[in-house]
Amino acid sequence: MNAVIKMTVTTKDTEETIHDVPVLVDYHMNDGYDWMDVIGEHGWAVIPSWGCDGWDLGQWPYVMVAGIRTADEIGNLFGMATYCEGDVRTTFYRTKAAFWTAISEQAFFHWKNGQAQGPDDLPEAAAEMPSRYRIPCNLSAAA
């Protein structure tokens, strides 16, 4: 059983048909940590945290969000995959903004439902989140 197959997809934001992209599929072997290793061999990476303060994104090893940046002859492509105990859903986006919005919606869902530690002051809807919660974590190492 392989975790990655080449497929034709339609981007969620621009509705373009893209051929031969690395799509993550259901993976019911071993556990999420094994999945993380397998997808890493294909250019995908699990995103551990999200937002300005690096709140949890998922609940490892049961729930994870992964991403990839690749490209075709037109330009960049951004892929996001959600892993939930082996069930995997993959989507692709042409723009980084749409990609970040999709990840932010995943983060909001898990934070709001108490499945991951997130900010204490979440609004009622993901679209209402402040911009500081809708960006990748970029914490620098202590000197």
pTM above 0.85, yes or no: yes
pLDDT band at 138, cuts 50/70/90? confident
In a domain, 18, yes or no: yes
In a domain, 134, yes or no: no
> Token pair of 24, please?
């993550």
The average confidence (pLDDT) of the chain is 94
**Structural domain of 20:** 4-115
In a domain, 15, yes or no: yes
In a domain, 54, yes or no: yes
In a domain, 58, yes or no: yes
* The total number of structural domains that make up the chain: 1
> Token pair of 36, please?
């993380």
Mean pLDDT confidence for 115-121: 92
